[in-house]
């Protein structure tokens, strides 16, 4: 065979995480945050990502405690909800994406907004104490922040704000970081996406690497 390569899955996994910890600058994170950032770097294949990841104090603990108490996890896209490793979830938590729920297209037209934003209206009654994970749509994050301006809107336990893209992604995350309506984390700038968001969920869900 012309190519020789590592064939042991566990060895590949272990060396990947060891490489990240050798190469990434992780000194600015506490132990819980570091675990999340390492998994995000692993998902993105990008040492240096750590420079863009920010947590409010105690965010990981707040999100993990909510999960352990059975909180649902609301996701803006199927790529996020589908990537969550269910065996890692501490309480068989519901993982919910309503982007394709009945009536979303019509509701989006009525609202004059995207389907991603309209889908959040299906979360409103269950937001209290939940985890919100937004990895694709800046409009979803902006709409969530607008929803939370209403004092009667239930408050999630934590927000993972990692929408990706060139229009509104940076601005929506900057707005989340400025408002900090609940404990939250972001990836600054245009970076983000499903893989990073899923990695954050999976790391929070279980301390097992």
Residue spans per domain, the chain: 52-205
Specify whether the CB–CB gap between 163 and 3 falls below 8 A: no
**What pLDDT, on a 0 to 100 scale, did the predictor assign at position 209?**
83
Specify whether the CB–CB gap between 183 and 204 falls below 8 A: no
Q: What is the pLDDT of residues 33-49, one digit of tens each?
A: 999 999 999 999 999 99
May I ask the CATH architecture of the domain 52-205?
3-Layer(aba) Sandwich (3.40)
Identify the CA nearest to 205 among candidates 123, 96, 94, 85: 85
Q: Is the pLDDT of residue 20 over 90?
A: yes
Q: Which two tokens stand for residue 28?
A: 């600015």
**What pLDDT, on a 0 to 100 scale, did the predictor assign at position 155?**
97
Mean pLDDT to the nearest integer, 174-199: 98
Angle at 32 between CA 29 and CA 34, to 5 degrees: 45
Dist CA 209 CA 194 (whole Å): 19
Tell me if residue 143 is catalytic: no
Q: What is the pLDDT of residues 72-97, one digit of tens each?
A: 999 999 999 999 999 999 999 999 99
Q: Is the pLDDT of residue 1 over 90?
A: no
Looking at the chain, the whole-number percentage of residues with pLDDT higher than 70 is: 100
DSSP codes of every residue in 47-76? TTGGGGEEE-TTHHHHHHHHHHTT--EEES
Mean pLDDT to the nearest integer, 100-120: 97
Tell me how far CA of residue 72 lies from CA of 23, 37, 96, 148, in angstroms.
Answer: 35, 22, 7, 18
Mean pLDDT to the nearest integer, 121-146: 97
């Amino acid at each position: 065979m012309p190519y020789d390569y590592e064939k042991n899955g566990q060895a590949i996994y272990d060396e990947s995480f060891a490489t990240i910890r050798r190469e990434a600058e992780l000194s600015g994170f506490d132990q819980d945050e570091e675990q999340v950032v390492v998994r995000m770097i692993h998902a993105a294949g990008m040492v240096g990502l750590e420079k863009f990841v920010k947590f409010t104090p105690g965010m990981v603990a707040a999100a993990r405690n909510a999960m352990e108490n059975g909180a649902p996890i609301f996701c803006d896209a199927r790529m996020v909800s589908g990537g969550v490793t269910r065996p890692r979830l501490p309480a068989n938590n519901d993982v919910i994406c309503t982007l394709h729920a009945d009536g979303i297209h019509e509701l989006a037209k009525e609202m004059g907004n995207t389907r991603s934003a309209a889908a959040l209206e299906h979360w409103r009654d269950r937001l209290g104490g939940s985890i919100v994970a937004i990895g694709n749509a800046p409009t979803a994050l902006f709409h969530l922040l607008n929803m939370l301006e209403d004092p009667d809107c239930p408050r999630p336990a934590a927000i993972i704000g990692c929408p990706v893209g060139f229009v509104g992604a940076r601005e929506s995350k900057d707005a989340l970081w400025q408002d900090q309506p609940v404990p939250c984390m972001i990836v600054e700038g245009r970076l983000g996406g499903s893989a990073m968001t899923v990695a954050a969920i999976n790391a929070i869900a279980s301390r097992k690497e």
